[in-house]
Amino acid sequence: MKKLITGIIAIITIVIILFGIQRYLAMKTGTGESSDKVLNLYNWGDYIDPDLLTKFTKETGYKVSYETFDSNEAMYTKIKQGGTSYDLTIPSDYMIQKMKSENLLLPLDHSRLTGLSNYDSRFMNQSFDKNNKYSLPYFWGTLGIIYNDKYVKANQVQHWDDLWSPQFKNQIMLIDSARDALGIALITQNKSVNDKSEADLAAAQAKLTALMPNVKAVIADEIKMYMAQNEAAIAVTYSGEASEALSNNSHLHYVVPTEGSNLWFDNIVMPKTAKHKDAAYAFINFMSNPENAAQNAKYIGYATPNKKALSFLPKDIRNDKQFYPDERTVSHLQVYDNLGQKWTEKYNDAFLEFKMTQR
């Protein structure tokens, strides 16, 4: 019995020693949460050039612990539940508004931000974060129409109402998103994408239902792949997804209807539980550098909000009106507000009823 007890004590002692060594090494190498030389970054998958992370570590000494999420809701749930110590994350516009209202974000100390003057003023001071108290823009983009010139002429799909043409029966892939789909219908009826009228929402649902004969599929990320493979003539999706599809098929084009659409933002924020604020500010300033912002935009394919970064981009990118639309088009774009639970559910229910009418 004594030998057994002695053996157990020895095993426990070894485990404790090994754990202590692991913690010490983690702190020395910057991979443990207690190290001051680490940045815990929570971002969308494949949403930064990996070379920039290497460059950031080389320049600052901060090692980056990089975790990913696949939706705003998944990111929000994990941060709200606690138990995490992410120093920075990159939610979308409406989610920033929601997180701010629930006291999940830290205000940014603008005195510690070195690149504020680099940003395009059009993309600052948005409704979801007035005066950029909690966030800075990371990427921006639009909702628009991809068309394949093998099947569709450019003048046939310049406006949202064009999608309802009988000639496009069973030819359209529609993004699987209540806000986007109903937003399109609302815009065609001269309403706000943030409308909170029962009558307007019902009218938008009816308009959307009338589109169903033309809808080949209601899908999400697969749109870019299917369009690249000539599986449909038309698709409604985001500019970033469109950019990737266009890069894989020379017959594809992207258009943002001039009458209006969604202007979306993904902004960088600091969760309330952030432990490494020096690292967080260092990273924000690093990404605000025009050369770094341009490198990231070139790698990802999304539009940069960093105005000074444009000069570091190839002319064919910065002059591409598909992804950097003119001022007239931008002036008609609308940013989604956080509708609150009640109206979010109403939009979701209306969209679900629409999808149930699919063949």
pLDDT tens across 210-260, in order? Answer: 999 999 999 988 999 999 999 999 999 999 889 999 999 999 999 999 999
CA distance 315 to 325: 14
What percentage of the chain has pLDDT greater than the value 90?
Answer: 84
**133-164 pLDDT tens trace:** 999 999 999 999 999 999 999 999 999 999 99
253 lies in the same domain as 314: no
> Structural domain of residue 231, as residue ranges?
141-263+325-355
User: Taking each helix axis from N to C terminus, what angle separates 290-300 and 277-288, rounded to the nearest 10 degrees?
Assistant: 80
Global pTM reads 0.83
Q: What is the CATH number of the domain that holds 246?
A: 3.40.190.10
pLDDT reading at 187 higher than 50: yes
- On whether both 253 and 112 belong to a single domain, the answer is no
Chain segment 21-68, per-residue pLDDT in tens: 554 444 443 334 446 799 999 999 989 999 999 999 999 999 999 999
pLDDT over 50 (residue 286): yes
Same domain, 37 and 116: yes
- Report the pLDDT value the prediction gives residue 32, as an integer from 0 to 100: 40
Residues 233 and 91 reside in one and the same domain:
no
| 131 vs 10, residue with greater confidence | 131
Q: Please say whether the beta carbons of 251 and 146 come within 8 A.
A: no
358 — pLDDT class (breaks 50, 70, 90): confident
Total domains present in the chain: 2
Environment class of 84 (CB within 10 Å of its CB; exposed 0-12, middle 13-18, buried 19+): middle
- Distance CA(84)–CA(233), nearest Å, equals 44
